[in-house]
Amino acid sequence: MTESTPAVVDALPETSPFARPWELDLELPDFAAVAPADIEPAVRAGMAAQRAEWEAIATDPAVPTVENTVAAVERSGELLGRALTVLCALTSATDSPELDALEETLAPDLAAHEDAYSLDERIYRRFKALDELVQAAADSPTGAPVDADGQVIDAETARCIRLAVEEFERDGVALTGPDADRLRAINARLSALSTRFGTLSTKAMHAAGVENFTATPALVTTTTHAERVALLNRSLSRGLSGEYDTRAIVLEEAGLRAERARLLGYPHHAAVVAAESAARTSQAVSELLTRLVPPAMANASRDAETYAARMAADPDTLPGEAFGPADWLRYEEAERKERFGIDDATLAPYLELNNVVERGVFYAATRLYGITFHERPDLAAHMYAPDLRVWEVRDGEGPDAHLLGLFVGDYYAREGKHGGAWMDSLVEQSHLTGRRPVVINCLNLTKPEAGPTLLTWDNVITAFHEFGHALHGLFADTRWPSASGTNVPRDVVEFPSQVNEKWALHPQVLASYARHVDTGAQLPDSLAEQLRSQGAFGQGYATTEYLGAALLDQAWHTLRPEDVPADVAAVEPFEHATLSAAGIDDALVPPRYRSTYFAHVFGGGYAAAYYAYIWSEVMDADTTDWFRTDGEGGKDGDFGLNRWAGERFRSEFLSRGDSRDPLVSYRAYRGRDPEIAPLLQRRGLN
């Protein structure tokens, strides 16, 4: 099975950096050693190598076992994984038109490559045989299942097998003939369209000079109403015309996903996605979203009246100018300043980037989990930009502490970098491969020409959020790579990151990092208390704009093929009709993302899954209550910032990945299923 791999790898030039595993610590990719021309040969050789590995598994005459089937599949694709990790990192975080074009060229070939596995009935039958062995043992009093090698199939492996069977079936392994051919064509086209959408939406964002979401922060500091309207219109009009028009892509993706769902036997694409998620059904998703809209919109409308009055009294407001969505952020911030004595300008001197990361994000992780951070500038020199930083993460203190993994921080915006913030795994943990995790956080902070980098409060929350994803990857402790770290259902993956946000406001954490950039003075207690006292302030707008985007995602992906509009001019009316039917006034609160720049959905992996953020927040809010009560571990007033609570959350949830049902992991520390009441209270929706 593996004998074919060296021959394919040897076909690469001797000088190719991909011809052997990375030599840096923990196989950190050596970006500095890679030239753009190195990548395509490595990707194509990697696909060929993995195809050979899959063929060897499929044609193995031996009875299926854990080793010759599960482990063989999980080990496959080493070269391809290395090459794609580098390609994806460079196209998402650097300005490389050559690699953007390569990514688009490769997209249909990579889709066909994935189909070669997911539609291979021979490999499916091998997993199915192992699954039947597990099921037979479950119905028998004789004990645990044992494969033909005499290996006991433990619970983690049994779950890996069951999930593989479900994925094969959900991906259409039973299709044959023209239906199978059509499925392959759809998958290839969707991959190409998604890649193209990502490229166009990123270019449109940079061309418009805005953030990736609708309500750009510059609206706060833009003085005149007319200038604010012009700025918001630039944001809202992205993808609606010109060289970056994405409307045709939106319609084609929606139509192809609907057709694909029908081929697979589902009523629509949202049902396919829900079937592999914690939600289980698209009806459950719809019920949650529609339950939240009325109170959220009511709160937003009430706030709008307050801000309209404030705008009317503003001397910068001209006669005839009326409050609208372009004015929201400016007057919300003014209201915040008046009611709580804080705004971004007041807080910024206390929120310096290095302090936030090292004395805030890292400090909280050390208090909770006992991990320590040790910077490695020698490794940072091998990254793709000079302002990245790399830390060793160790379990404990001292030189003998176990090396857990590596953490890479890419905090600054640059030309060509995708908008928003994200975490990615550069190396995934696995006991099978013996690898330890290497994870990266990417933000989009504006780098000053000189002096310190001062953050907004939203930037601080984003740093804590993304590091929650990083912890999920760093604490991974599973045998199978496919179950490691953040490889969990979409509506679970945001949960650890949202939980980690809560530590930004913890009194001891805030006191550690919120220090004046010039004097080192701690953020005054009065400001810290006012910061914490905001409660549900602003949540009417924030919840409504999020729900608007989530509802658009669901609307596009619950269409039947024949119901998808054919004319690009129908995109805007479709959006308005969808939001109006749900009870959202989009003339007052536009969605966080319009369809034409909704990269999560049309350029990424969140199609019919953007609801995941609010679904995860149900668990997050409930877990935050757990940290404050049961998680205090002795009621010493630390609100859960202690090793007892941290170790329990780490061992029962963060380390498990998808090696067991995430709901089982949740119950293991919480003692019950999540309840929605804490979320409603947090967002002022009860």
Residue 634: predicted pLDDT:
47
Please choose, from the candidates 14, 12, 34, the residue with its C-alpha nearest in 3D space to the C-alpha of residue 89: 34
Task: Check pLDDT > 50 for residue 7.
Answer: no
Tell me: do 473 and 453 sit in the same domain.
yes
Tell me: do 255 and 165 sit in the same domain.
no
Please choose, from the candidates 356, 288, 282, the residue with its C-alpha nearest in 3D space to the C-alpha of residue 617: 288
Tell me: do 553 and 501 sit in the same domain.
no
| Ramachandran region, residue 280 (left: φ > 0; alpha: ψ -120 to 50; beta: rest) | left
Residue 636: predicted pLDDT:
67
> CATH number for the domain including 326?
1.10.1370.10
Tell me: do 479 and 578 sit in the same domain.
no
Tell me: do 517 and 598 sit in the same domain.
no
Please choose, from the candidates 582, 525, 527, the residue with its C-alpha nearest in 3D space to the C-alpha of residue 549: 582
Of 568, 603, 638, the residue that ends a domain is: 603
Beta strands in 304-421 (DSSP E): 371-375, 389-395, 402-412
Per-residue pLDDT averaged across 488-492, rounded? 95
- How would you class 81 by CB atoms within 10 Å of its CB: exposed for 0-12, middle for 13-18, buried for 19 or more? middle
Tell me: do 321 and 366 sit in the same domain.
no
Tell me: do 522 and 543 sit in the same domain.
no
DSSP string, 134-174: HHHHHTSTT-S-B-TTS-B--HHHHHHHHHHHHHHHHTTTT
DSSP string, 30-59: -GGG--HHHHHHHHHHHHHHHHHHHHHHHT
Indicate the helix (H) or strand (E) that contains 139.
none
Q: How far apart are the C-alpha atoms of 432 and 163, rounded to whole Å?
A: 18
Please choose, from the candidates 85, 80, 165, the residue with its C-alpha nearest in 3D space to the C-alpha of residue 118: 165
The answer to whether the CB of 270 falls within 8 A of the CB of 607 is no
DSSP state of 68: I
Tell me: do 130 and 194 sit in the same domain.
no
The answer to the question of residue 672 being in a domain is no
Q: How far apart are the C-alpha atoms of 86 and 31, rounded to whole Å?
A: 7
Summarised one tens digit per residue, pLDDT across range 351-392 is: 999 999 999 999 999 999 999 999 999 999 999 999 999 999
Amino acid at 379: L
Tokens read off for 654: 């963060």
Tell me: do 418 and 438 sit in the same domain.
yes
Token pair 């390609």 is found at 87
Task: Check pLDDT > 70 for residue 326.
Answer: yes
Positive or negative: CA dihedral 337, 340, 341, 345: negative
Per-residue pLDDT averaged across 171-184, rounded? 97
Tell me: do 24 and 154 sit in the same domain.
yes
Beta bridge partners of residue 393, listed in sequence order: 373, 405
Task: Check pLDDT > 50 for residue 8.
Answer: no
Task: Check pLDDT > 50 for residue 37.
Answer: yes
Is 166 in the active site?
Answer: no
Per-residue pLDDT averaged across 474-478, rounded? 98
Q: Which residues contact 617 (CB under 8 A, 6 or more apart)?
A: 494, 495, 498, 679
Task: Check pLDDT > 90 for residue 15.
Answer: no
Tell me: do 456 and 595 sit in the same domain.
no
Tell me: do 204 and 270 sit in the same domain.
yes
Q: How far apart are the C-alpha atoms of 499 and 330, rounded to whole Å?
A: 28
Please choose, from the candidates 561, 572, 422, the residue with its C-alpha nearest in 3D space to the C-alpha of residue 494: 422
Tokens read off for 431: 């006991």
The answer to the question of residue 113 being in a domain is yes
Q: CA–CA distance from 673 to each of 469, 485, 668 (Å)?
A: 22, 21, 10
Among 466, 494, 501, 632, the one annotated catalytic: 466
pLDDT band at 630 (very low <50, low <70, confident <90, very high): confident
Please choose, from the candidates 358, 612, 650, the residue with its C-alpha nearest in 3D space to the C-alpha of residue 495: 612
Task: Check pLDDT > 60 for residue 521.
Answer: yes
The answer to the question of residue 179 being in a domain is no
Task: Check pLDDT > 90 for residue 110.
Answer: yes
Residue 686: predicted pLDDT:
86
Positive or negative: CA dihedral 479, 483, 484, 485: negative
Per-residue pLDDT averaged across 339-352, rounded? 96
Residue 141: predicted pLDDT:
76
Number of neighbouring beta carbons within 10 Å of residue 595: 27
Q: How far apart are the C-alpha atoms of 541 and 294, rounded to whole Å?
A: 12
Summarised one tens digit per residue, pLDDT across range 578-600 is: 999 999 999 999 999 999 999 99
Query: Which structural domain range is residue 391 located in?
Result: 348-532
**Pairing, β 402-412 against β 438-445:** parallel
Q: How far apart are the C-alpha atoms of 493 and 487, rounded to whole Å?
A: 8
Task: Check pLDDT > 70 for residue 284.
Answer: yes
Please choose, from the candidates 21, 75, 92, the residue with its C-alpha nearest in 3D space to the C-alpha of residue 424: 92
Q: Identify the three-state secondary structure at position 456.
A: coil
Of 502, 532, 562, the residue that ends a domain is: 532
* Share above pLDDT 90 across residues of the chain, in percent, rounded to a whole number: 94
Q: Which residues contact 128 (CB under 8 A, 6 or more apart)?
A: 165, 168
Per-residue pLDDT averaged across 465-489, rounded? 98
Tokens read off for 237: 């009009």
Q: Which residues contact 541 (CB under 8 A, 6 or more apart)?
A: 300, 303, 328, 332, 589
Please choose, from the candidates 331, 248, 276, the residue with its C-alpha nearest in 3D space to the C-alpha of residue 596: 248
> To 10 degrees, what angle do helices 97-118 and 78-93 make?
140
Residue 579: predicted pLDDT:
98
> CATH number for the domain including 37?
1.10.1370.40
The answer to the question of residue 618 being in a domain is no
The answer to the question of residue 53 being in a domain is yes
The answer to the question of residue 327 being in a domain is yes
Q: Which residues contact 194 (CB under 8 A, 6 or more apart)?
A: 107, 253, 602, 603, 604
Residue 633: predicted pLDDT:
61
Of 551, 581, 603, the residue that ends a domain is: 603
Q: Which residues contact 242 (CB under 8 A, 6 or more apart)?
A: none
Beta bridge partners of residue 215, listed in sequence order: none
Residue 635: predicted pLDDT:
54
Task: Check pLDDT > 70 for residue 24.
Answer: yes
Q: How far apart are the C-alpha atoms of 44 and 102, rounded to whole Å?
A: 12
Q: CA–CA distance from 538 to each of 346, 406, 535, 685 (Å)?
A: 18, 37, 9, 12
Q: How far is CA 97 from the centre of its chain?
A: 24
Start-to-end CA span in the chain (Å): 59
Summarised one tens digit per residue, pLDDT across range 187-199 is: 999 999 999 999 9
Task: Check pLDDT > 70 for residue 570.
Answer: yes
The answer to whether the CB of 578 falls within 8 A of the CB of 570 is no
The answer to the question of residue 586 being in a domain is yes
Amino acid at 686: N
Largest CA distance in the chain: 84
DSSP state of 597: G
Per-residue pLDDT averaged across 291-296, rounded? 98
Summarised one tens digit per residue, pLDDT across range 225-263 is: 999 999 999 999 999 999 999 999 999 999 999 999 999
> To 10 degrees, what angle do helices 247-263 and 571-582 make?
70
Q: Which residues contact 426 (CB under 8 A, 6 or more apart)?
A: 28, 29, 85, 89, 408, 438, 439, 440
Summarised one tens digit per residue, pLDDT across range 198-227 is: 999 999 999 999 989 999 999 999 999 999
The answer to the question of residue 657 being in a domain is no
Per-residue pLDDT averaged across 112-127, rounded? 98
Q: How far apart are the C-alpha atoms of 270 and 609, rounded to whole Å?
A: 8
Amino acid at 606: Y
Q: Which residues contact 539 (CB under 8 A, 6 or more apart)?
A: 296, 299, 682, 683, 684, 685
Give the count of domains, the chain. 3
